[in-house]
Amino acid sequence: MNSLLAHPYAQHRRSRSVSSLSPPARSPHGSAVDSEKKLGLWHPSMGPHQGSVTAFVSVMGPPSDKLDVSPPAMPIHGYPYVKHSSGITVILSGHRAGTSLPLYPSGSLISGVVVLSKVESITSLDVKLEGIISVREIQGGGRSNITFLSDQLITWNTATSRLPDEFAFRYLLPTFSRDGRLLPPTLDSRLTGIPGFRVSVKWTISVTATRALSNPLSFFRRTARLSVPIGYVPRTRPPSRGPFPMSPSRILPSPTATLFTDLVPPRREGTPPIQTQIYLPHSQITPLTKAIPFRIVLSAPDAYLEPFLTASSPRSFLQLGGAKTPPEDSTDGPVSVRLVRRIGADPRETGVVVVGELATSSTRGGCLLGEGLLSPAETGRGIVSWWGEVHVRPGRVSTGGFDVDGLVVQDDLVLMLNVPGIHTHAFPFRQVVPIRLTTDLPGTIEAVPVTIV
């Protein structure tokens, strides 16, 4: 079948179904990442009057290639973040004034101080950085917690030496887990279904101080705890800079796949299918801060394409270069393109039996990332096509998808075809192309290149 996209260098690939979930991104240097940790402890040789202890922990990921240096995605600020409870104070340096959640990109340094009151009664101190995935049943008591990271920052007890008034620590945030997967970002989301679930990825600095009770009748707790949530943002980038050409040859999936085809099946015998093509000039791996350009092509005899021209809604086709953010309640025309996020979690470990497929979040329940802007249709013999682009709406997401320990966050570009009253083909029809959103632009040296969607 003839196509306006029949470019001699095009890359041809059939898109996956909507139910498919992509494998996780992995370290480009192998599945296992060597880790090195150095933990500073309080030793008697330091003497009782040192005043503070500095602990340093590093979990090193694979080195990145030498590329053009771009400004960091998150600038360093000069204000401390302070949290206090139960005689424990944690001070984290380098944040924006008034922030409610200290944010850290992957590879950055956490620099902090733990200050204690009434140190003479403390017998031990334990400070950890923990990463936990939680799946919780909303209506019941079912819960599943999976710890994917647990690193000791500070450990002390009376058998070691006298406790100073404060402990200083520095921790280099890792990028990869021990099996080579990218560590997941901070997340909190509600999944629809019966029963409903709430899933979260929490990064927390946990401080536990044990006090000796001088008075057996004292009502003070023996163990004091303070948890400081932090926001973790893995920095990622496309492996190369587009735009990329197309090719009609059938090759294995690659990071620069650009052309995806499908067929709208006919309802009547002898009716030809409608071929759909989605061309992504910048491939499936693209920065979330930039527009995602695309081209949609439908190929079939003219009689079957005419409804896509005559049934067009004025609100469905917007001139490029106009408003960058479509209204929330925009009406679908016969052709629409959306960028959506799906979140799936395995609830079986909570003890709740879920009938049917894996519970996933609803697209209209807050996971619509953006709606495509389409140019006026271009027509040819047996061809109708549209150029367009889609933007991630500001504030919707700050990181791309991931797959870790039963929790899947997947972004998709969805082509919707729907012509009411037309019974020759199976409408409505959806074609789904998985998308990997990155935090940074190609060539950003601080970010990790991702090659798997």
pLDDT digits (tens, 9 = 90+) for 223-232: 889 999 999 9
- d(Cα 275, Cα 293) in Å, to the nearest integer? 20
- d(Cα 274, Cα 271) in Å, to the nearest integer? 9
Q: Specify the DSSP class assigned to residue 193.
A: S
Given a contact cutoff of 8 angstroms between Cβ atoms, the answer to whether 395 and 402 are in contact is: no
pLDDT at 343: 87
Q: What six digits make up the tokens of 101?
A: 């959640």
Taking residues 259-272, report their average pLDDT: 93
SS3 of residue 263 by DSSP:
strand
pLDDT at 60: 28
Q: What six digits make up the tokens of 41?
A: 């402890």
- d(Cα 419, Cα 427) in Å, to the nearest integer? 7
Between 160 and 322, name the one with better pLDDT. Answer: 160
Phi/psi for 83 (5° steps) reads -135, 135
Per-residue pLDDT at 56 exceeds 90: no
For the chain, the straight-line distance linking the first and the last C-alpha, in angstroms and rounded, comes to 29
Between 85 and 162, name the one with better pLDDT. Answer: 85
Gyration radius (Cα) of the chain, Å: 27
Categorize the per-residue pLDDT at 198 as very low, low, confident or very high, splitting at 50, 70 and 90: confident
How many Cβ atoms from other residues are within 10 Å of residue 306's Cβ?
Answer: 14
pLDDT at 221: 53
Give the CB-side neighbour count of residue 346, counting CA atoms within 13 A.
Answer: 10
How many Cβ atoms from other residues are within 10 Å of residue 112's Cβ?
Answer: 24
pLDDT tens column, 314-350: 344 444 444 344 444 344 689 999 999 998 876 665 4
Between 367 and 152, name the one with better pLDDT. Answer: 152
Beta bridge partners of 155: 126
pLDDT tens column, 375-433: 999 999 999 999 999 999 998 899 999 988 878 899 999 999 998 888 899 999 999 99
SS3 of residue 363 by DSSP:
helix
Beta bridge partners of 209: 125, 224
Given a contact cutoff of 8 angstroms between Cβ atoms, the answer to whether 79 and 95 are in contact is: yes
pLDDT tens column, 86-97: 889 999 998 988
DSSP assignment of 405-418 = TTEEEEEEEEEEE-
- d(Cα 158, Cα 209) in Å, to the nearest integer? 12
Given a contact cutoff of 8 angstroms between Cβ atoms, the answer to whether 237 and 255 are in contact is: no
Strand 236-237, strand 448-449: pairing: parallel
Given a contact cutoff of 8 angstroms between Cβ atoms, the answer to whether 40 and 127 are in contact is: no
Mean pLDDT lowest among 5-14, 132-141, 258-267, 281-290: 5-14
Give the percent of the chain with pLDDT over 70. 68
pLDDT at 332: 62
How many Cβ atoms from other residues are within 10 Å of residue 147's Cβ?
Answer: 10
Per-residue pLDDT at 99 exceeds 60: yes
Between 324 and 107, name the one with better pLDDT. Answer: 107
Per-residue pLDDT at 301 exceeds 50: yes
SS3 of residue 120 by DSSP:
helix
Longest dimension (CA), the chain: 92
pLDDT tens column, 31-46: 333 333 333 333 333 3
Give the percent of the chain with pLDDT over 90. 47
Q: Which domains does the chain have, with CATH numbers?
A: 11-24+237-449 (no CATH), 44-61+74-234 (2.60.40.640)
SS3 of residue 171 by DSSP:
strand
- What does pLDDT average to over the chain? 76
Taking residues 115-129, report their average pLDDT: 88
Categorize the per-residue pLDDT at 110 as very low, low, confident or very high, splitting at 50, 70 and 90: very high
pLDDT tens column, 168-193: 999 999 999 888 889 999 998 887 66
Strand 335-345, strand 368-371: pairing: antiparallel
Q: What six digits make up the tokens of 52?
A: 């503070």
pLDDT at 411: 95
Locus of tokens 């290149």: 449
Between 400 and 4, name the one with better pLDDT. Answer: 400
The vertex-171 CA angle with 167 and 176, nearest 5°, equals: 155
Mean pLDDT lowest among 39-43, 122-126, 201-205, 208-212: 39-43
Q: Tell me the whole-structure pTM to 2 decimals.
A: 0.75
- d(Cα 140, Cα 65) in Å, to the nearest integer? 48
